[in-house]
Amino acid sequence: MTVIILANCPAGLRGFLTRWLLEISPGVFLGSPTARIRDLLWDEVRQYSDKGRALLVHQTDTEQGFTFRTHHHAWHPTDHEGLTLLHRPAPRTTPPETSRPPQPPKKNWSKAAQRRKYGRR
C-alpha cells in the first residue's frame, strides 16, 4: 500500500497522480503500485511540487512494516533504535514585545476566590 499526501502543490500534479492512485481526500492519494512505479511517481512529485510539501508512506520489510519519505516538509523521518519516527522541529518562540518579565497573576482576584477566602457562598 502506498499513500502520498500533498499540500500546496499544483493541480496538474494531483491530476497526474490520479492516473495511478485513488484520491480519497483532497491531496491524499492511495494505491498499490509496484516499487518501480512508486519511485517514478515520487520523482515526479519531487520535481513538480514547486514550493509545496509532500509525504510518501509505503510498505517495507521492517519492524513497522512501512517507511516515510518527505519533500519540503518540516517533519523529517529519523531512525530511533530501529523504528522510523517523524521528527517534529521545536516551535519557534518570539521574544516578548515588552522588556519586563511577565508578572504572576494576583492572588484572590476573582469573586470565587474571595468567597472561598471569607467563607461566603
Average pLDDT, consecutive stretches of 10 residues, N- to C-terminus, the chain (121 residues): 95 94 96 96 94 93 90 87 86 68 68 73 58
Provide the pLDDT for residue 107: 66
Distance CA 113, CA 115 (A): 5
Distance CA 85, CA 68 (A): 9
Provide the pLDDT for residue 108: 61
Stated as kind and residue range, the H or E segment containing 70 is strand 66-71
Q: Find, among 7, 33, 9, the residue nearest to 20 by Cα.
A: 33
Provide the pLDDT for residue 105: 66
Provide the pLDDT for residue 91: 82
Provide the pLDDT for residue 82: 82
Distance CA 108, CA 120 (A): 14
The predicted model scores a pTM of 0.71
Instruction: Give, in degrees to the nearest 5, the angle at Cα 83 between 81 and 89.
Output: 95
